[in-house]
Every structure is written in structure tokens, then in C-alpha cells.
């Protein structure tokens, strides 16, 4: 492709993207294709000879686009949102052009410096404790995903624990090595039974044990200090070594918020236990002062915090914003310095090299899209987006509440998420009959494909989740979605 062909195709791509969004509400939210559909449409080998981009684009339109799930559709009410916005896409475009894997500061100084600046801006806007800002011992860094953040922190936590809580008790290198080797099998990571599976997966990768602490509906599915204390004491009595805890600000199934103050109190006597906050979805709402009470109890007593701008804050995947209280903890665990990565600026300790604070070496220029979004929306625009889309979610909650004869709400609705069941005639929430009718409703909605929503099992109750958050969501579409769900629920219940 020569520059002029690129210019033409590039302009056409922008037109195509604008039209895609303009026609979003006419598009089916879920792809209408069978598993394996694409294999039947594409050749088994790559083309031997160059093809015209126009021909490639024709196939993209006719074969790829129909196989896409339209996450920005107002009828997409599943999982959590995966936002995108025009300035964010422009940031991606420029970033892809520079294609600079800025693992060291010297590899592209603006990449590192802009990332530090925008993450400080975000931390201040979210009212995070000052310990996470880069002007002290803390730092923000953009990771690819919340899952990547939790494994990164867990590796740092494991290293810190083995060094400071295990090896430090011994004199000789040999003794230290022996103590570390025998401690490895005793390390245990904790989280609540509502915590996202990424913590369990991180434990799997890190080769440590994992304990899920039960929660209860009466305590709004939150991890409490008392439950944590009981779980830690039980593990310690067995000779295990609790070294890591994920506390959630907004769990996946029900947006439960763990009791940060109580957790901090219980862990005060265990300073080597790393406390991570997973705020992947809910963290976005912290840009609004009225949601900052979610941080109650979080002071300079948590080691790390992570939120995904790529869920609900107008930046497209990926932009997981991770903060640590002591950046040294990450570098101590993750810095490896082969001769080919050395350079004089790094050697003099004048700069931060992000490779020391993440798992991979290379990294994308994600800060650019974040900066474009922050500049073009301003904090007022980000707040407006959160408030507008939460309100659309609350509209659904109101409708569901108004039909207490038909629906039961399973967990306190929060931040636009409603988790509900369809109550079987003559039955109540959480019964076998209610689970069965709820499953039938969910299956029919999935089959008909008019809406996309996900379901979950919350302590044995099969429940559907409705959440929006897309910049293209509207109240009108939510009213229609509710009317459709109500109709299906009534029909399936009366069968
Ligand atoms: N944490 C929570 C609470 C989530 O809901 C999710 C995904 O939805 C994740 C973590 C994982 O996010 P990611 O896809 O960025 O790894």
C-alpha cells in the first residue's frame, strides 16, 4: 500500500466507522452466525500474491463485520460495558503509527512521561489516597487488563513477603534460600467468593494457594473484617502464610463493595500482607464526587488499586490503570537488567523504565488515547457520561422494582447494574421453581438475540444481569429493552 492508497483507504475507514456508529441502533446486537462460520468463507492458506485493499475491505464488510458482537449497541446489556469514543480511537491511530514499544524511558520519552502525568491526573480526579501519586513513593502505570494488574501485583507481593517476612529472619544466604524454598508451598492468596476469577487465575500462575472467603446476602456480598479475620486465623493455624488479598470495589456478578476500613483494621498486624483493590468496573464512577464514598476506609493502607478506563470511562480496550503505593515493590520483583537494555539515563537513575513495573518488556502507547479523552471531555464530560449512563441503568431498576409480582431483585442495584430473577407463580426468590423460570427467560432472550444480557449464579440463585454504560445507550432503548424482558418473562412464566 503506497501513501496515497493509505490516505484514500484511511479517509474511507473513518467514514465507515462514523456510519457504523450512526447505524448502531439498527444493528443486531449479537452476531447471527454459527460456530465455525468463518472457516467456510475464507481460504485455507494466506494469499501468495498481494491483493488490492478494496477487495480486502469488501471481504471485511461481508464476512467479518457480520460476525461481530456490537458492544456499543444500546441493546448490549451484558457483562460490563467496553467503552470507546472518537478521541480514544484517534489516540489508537496515532499510537499505531508510532509503533514504539516504550519499555525504557529512552525508547520514547513522551510515552513514559505522558503516562505518569495522565495517571496522576486520574488519581486526583478519583480522589485516590496521595500515596498512589508519582511525586512520592507511589506510581500509576497502564497495564493491558485488570487480570494483568492482579498477577503483576501478586508477583511483587510474593517477592516482598519471601524477602521481608521469611528470608529476613535468617543470617546466611544458604539459610535464607532454604527458608524461601520451604515457604513457597505455604503462601496463600485470599479474596471473597464474589471476587473476579482473575485473582484465582493469578494464584494459579504464581503457583500459590488460593482461598475464597464466603460472603452473605445479608452483608450485601461484601468481604467483612470479621470474615477475613476468621479466614486468616484459620490459615495461619495450619501453618499457611497469607501474603495477598484482593478486596473488590464492585464485584462482577453484583457490584459488591468490600469493607475496606474493616479489612485495613484486621490486616494492621500483618504488614507484609499485600492488599490490592480491584475496582475494574466501579472505579470509573470515582470521577464523580458523589461516588467517592466508595473509597471510605482506603487510606494509605492499601498496596495497590486498579481500575479499567476501558470499561466505563470512554477509552477503548486496553487501558487498565494500576496504582501502587511503593513502586519499589514492583521493581524489586520485576527488574532484570541484561546488558542490551542498559543505557546511561537509566543507569543514572534519572527516569522510570516501565519494563520494571510490568510483566512484558514491550508496551503500547496507551497514554495517548487516555490524554486525548481527558482533554476533549474534561472531567465534566467524564462525569456527565457516568451520570447519564447510570441513570439509564437506574431506569431499568425502577421498572423491575415496580413489578414485584414478576421480578425479584437479587442484590442491591449499584452503578447501573440490576441483578434479578423472574419469580415463578406462587413461589419466591431463590427457589428451584424461580431458578427454572429465570433460566427459561434467559435462554429465550439469548435465542431471539434482540438483546444481549448475561446471567450469573449468586449463592445458588440463577439471576440475569442488566447493565449499560455505552456512550450510545439511550433511555428509549432501555425502556424498549425492559418492555421486551417483561413480555418474555410473563409469557414464559405462564407456560
Ligand atoms: N475485575 C472485575 C471486577 C471484572 O468485572 C473484570 C472483568 O469484567 C475483571 C476484573 C477482569 O478485567 P480484564 O478483562 O481487564 O482482565
Closest CA to 416 of 468, 476, 456, 477: 468
Separation CA 120–CA 14 (nearest Å): 32
| Residue 70, phi then psi, degrees to nearest 5 | -95, 90
Looking at the chain, the whole-number percentage of residues with pLDDT higher than 90 is 95
Q: Indicate the range of 218-222, 276-280, 425-429 predicted with least confidence.
A: 425-429
Tens digit of each residue's pLDDT (9 = 90 or more) over 214-237: 999 999 999 999 999 999 999 999
- CA 32, CA 271: separation in Å to the nearest integer? 53
Ligand 1 in contact with 312 (CB < 6 A)? no
Helix axis angle, 367-402 relative to 86-98, nearest 10°?
150
| Largest Cα span, the chain | 75
Q: pLDDT at residue 484 above 90?
A: yes
CA atoms of 248 and 479, how far apart (whole Å): 31
More confident residue, 364 or 348: 364
Residue 281 has pLDDT above 90, yes or no: yes
Domain span holding position 356: 99-364
Probe target for ligand 1 pocket from 83, 248, 249, 281, with the most ligand atoms within 8 Å of CB: 281
The predicted pLDDT at position 28 comes to 94
**Model pLDDT, residue 302:** 98
Domain membership of residue 28 (yes or no) is: no
Residues 168-196 have a mean pLDDT of 97
Contact partners, residue 491, CB within 8 Å, separation at least 6 = none
Tell me the DSSP string of 321-388.
EEEES-HHHHHHHH----GGG--HHHHTT-S--GGGGSSSS----THHHHHHHHHHHHHHHHHHHHHH
Q: How many domains does the chain have?
A: 1
Predicted confidence (pLDDT) at residue 338 exceeds the cutoff of 90 = no
Mutate to test the pocket of ligand 1, among 71, 79, 82, 147 (most ligand atoms within 8 A of CB): 147
How far is CA 438 from each of CA 142, 208, 481, rounded to the nearest angstrom?
39, 37, 16
320 lines ligand 1 (CB under 6 A): yes
Average pLDDT over residues 298-316: 97
Q: Is the pTM of this model over 0.90?
A: yes
User: Closest ligand 1 atom to the C-alpha of 317?
Assistant: 15
Give the residue, out of 149, 246, 280, with the most ligand 1 atoms within 8 A of its beta carbon, to mutate for a pocket test.
Answer: 280
Residue 9 lies in a domain: no
- For atom 5 of ligand 1, which residue has the closest CA? 252
Asked if residue 41 belongs to a domain, the reply is no
The complex scores an ipTM of 0.98
Q: In this structure, is residue 64 part of a structural domain?
A: no
User: Does the residue 19 lie in any domain?
Assistant: no
Q: For 115-130, how does the pLDDT look when each residue is reduced to its tens digit (9 = 90+)? A: 999 999 999 999 999 9
Instruction: Write the pLDDT tens digit of every residue in 255-271.
Output: 999 999 999 999 999 99
Whole-number average pLDDT of the chain: 96
Q: How far is the CA of 198 from the centre of ligand 1 (A)?
A: 7
Task: Kindly state whether residue 49 falls inside one of the protein's structural domains.
Answer: no
According to the model, what pLDDT value does residue 345 have?
A: 77
Cα 196 to ligand 1 centroid, rounded to whole Å: 6
In sequence order, what E strands does 42-158 have?
A: 139-143
- Enter the C-alpha cell of residue 416: 447501573
Confidence of residue 346 (pLDDT cuts 50, 70, 90): confident
Whether residue 495 has pLDDT greater than 90: no
Closest ligand 1 atom to Cα of 308: 15
Index of the ligand 1 atom closest to the CA of residue 320: 15
What CATH number corresponds to the domain at position 310? 3.40.640.10
Position 359 in a domain: yes
Contact 458, 411 (CB under 8 A): yes
Judge contact between 442 and 420, C-beta under 8 A.
Answer: no
- Could you tell me the pLDDT band of residue 19, with boundaries at 50, 70 and 90? very high
Indicate the burial class of 53 (C-beta count within 10 angstroms; 0-12, 13-18, 19 or more).
middle
Ligand 1 center from residue 280 Cα (angstroms): 6
Average pLDDT over residues 368-376: 98
Mean pLDDT of the region 201-207: 98
d(Cα 143, Cα 409) in Å, to the nearest integer? Answer: 35
Residue 346 lies in a domain: yes
Amino acid at each position: 500500500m503506497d501513501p496515497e492508497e493509505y490516505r484514500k483507504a484511511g479517509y474511507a475507514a473513518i467514514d465507515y466507522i462514523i456510519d457504523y456508529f450512526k447505524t448502531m441502533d439498527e444493528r443486531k446486537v449479537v452476531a447471527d452466525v454459527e460456530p465455525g462460520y468463518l472457516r467456510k468463507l475464507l481460504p485455507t492458506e494466506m494469499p501468495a500474491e498481494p491483493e488490492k485493499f478494496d477487495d480486502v475491505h469488501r471481504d471485511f464488510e461481508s464476512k467479518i463485520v457480520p460476525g461481530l458482537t456490537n458492544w456499543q449497541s444500546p441493546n448490549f446489556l451484558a457483562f460490563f460495558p467496553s467503552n470507546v469514543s472518537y478521541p480514544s480511537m484517534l489516540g489508537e491511530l496515532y499510537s499505531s503509527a508510532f509503533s514504539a514499544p516504550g519499555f525504557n524511558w529512552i525508547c520514547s520519552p513522551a510515552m513514559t512521561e505522558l503516562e505518569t502525568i495522565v495517571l496522576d491526573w486520574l488519581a486526583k480526579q478519583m480522589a485516590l489516597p496521595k500515596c498512589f501519586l508519582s511525586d512520592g513513593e507511589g506510581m500509576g502505570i497502564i497495564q493491558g487488563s485488570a487480570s494483568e494488574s492482579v498477577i503483576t501485583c501478586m508477583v511483587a507481593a510474593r517477592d516482598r513477603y519471601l524477602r521481608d517476612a521469611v528470608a529476613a529472619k535468617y543470617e546466611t544466604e544458604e539459610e535464607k534460600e532454604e527458608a524461601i524454598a520451604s515457604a513457597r508451598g505455604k503462601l496463600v492468596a485470599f479474596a471473597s467468593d464474589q471476587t473476579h476469577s482473575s485473582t484465582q487465575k493469578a494464584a494459579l500462575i504464581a503457583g500459590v494457594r488460593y482461598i475464597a472467603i464466603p460472603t452473605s446476602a445479608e452483608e450485601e456480598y461484601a468481604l467483612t473484617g470479621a470474615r477475613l479475620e476468621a479466614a486468616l486465623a484459620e490459615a495461619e493455624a495450619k501453618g499457611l502464610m497469607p501474603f495477598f488479598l484482593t478486596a473488590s470495589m464492585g464485584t462482577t456478578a453484583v457490584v459488591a463493595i468490600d469493607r475496606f476500613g474493616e479489612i485495613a483494621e484486621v490486616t494492621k498486624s500483618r504488614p507484609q500482607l499485600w492488599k490490592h483493590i480491584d475496582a475494574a468496573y466501579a472505579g470509573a464512577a470515582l470521577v464523580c464526587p458523589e461516588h467517592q464514598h466508595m473509597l471510605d476506609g482506603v487510606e494509605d493502607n492499601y498496596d495497590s488499586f486498579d481500575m479499567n478506563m476501558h470499561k466505563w470511562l470512554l477509552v477503548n480496550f486496553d487501558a487498565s490503570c494500576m496504582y501502587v503505593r511503593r513502586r519499589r515493590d514492583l521493581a524489586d520483583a520485576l527488574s532484570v537488567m541484561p546488558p542490551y537494555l542498559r543505557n546511561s539515563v537509566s543507569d543514572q537513575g534519572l527516569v522510570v523504565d516501565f519494563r520494571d513495573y510490568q510483566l512484558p518488556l514491550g508496551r503500547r502507547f496507551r497514554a495517548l488515547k487516555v490524554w486525548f479523552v481527558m482533554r476533549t471531555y474534561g472531567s465534566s464530560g467524564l462525569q456527565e457520561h457516568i451520570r447519564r449512563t447510570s441513570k439509564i441503568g437506574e431506569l431499568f431498576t425502577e421498572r423491575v422494582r415496580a413489578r414485584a409480582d414478576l421480578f425479584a431483585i437479587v442484590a442491591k442495584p449499584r452503578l447501573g447494574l440490576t441483578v434479578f430473577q423472574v419469580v415463578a407463580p406462587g413461589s419466591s426468590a431463590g427457589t428451584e421453581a424461580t431458578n427454572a423460570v429465570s433460566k427459561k427467560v434467559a435462554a429465550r432472550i439469548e435465542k431471539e438475540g434482540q438483546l444481549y444480557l448475561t446471567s450469573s449464579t449468586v449463592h445458588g440463585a440463577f439471576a440475569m444481569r442488566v447493565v449499560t454504560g455505552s456512550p450510545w445507550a439511550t433511555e428509549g432503548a432501555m425502556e424498549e429493552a425492559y418492555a421486551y424482558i417483561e413480555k418474555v418473562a410473563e409469557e414464559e412464566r405462564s407456560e
